[in-house]
Amino acid sequence: MNLTLNGSPAAFDAPLTITELLARHKLKPETVVVEYNLRVPAKHEYDLITLADGDRVEIVKFMGGG
């Protein structure tokens, strides 16, 4: 399966949910916002959305600072 992840091509062996994609990148859902095919799903949907070939995913992680 081929995705566009944060603007770059990414290949995965099997379909993944958004939750599984975040886990592979060692990211906690509560610390990021995910854009999936130009929409921002609610966090409770992350387990329900199975990524497919050609999907576009952007992951934004918040950082504190001053």
In a domain, 12, yes or no: yes
Distance CA 38, CA 59 (A): 12
What is the structure's pLDDT at 7?
97
16 part of a folded domain: yes
Average predicted confidence (pLDDT) for the chain: 94
Average pLDDT over every residue of 17-42: 96
pLDDT at position 62: 81
Phi, psi of 24 (to 5 degrees): -65, -30
- Residue 36 is assigned to a structural domain of this protein: yes
CATH at residue 32: 3.10.20.30
pLDDT of residue 66: 64
Q: Does any domain span residue 66?
A: no
Range of the domain at 44: 2-61
* Domain assignment present for 17: yes
pLDDT at 64: 74
Give the strand pairing for 56-61 and 8-11: unpaired
Q: How many domains does the chain have?
A: 1
Q: What band does 36 get if pLDDT is binned at 50, 70 and 90?
A: very high
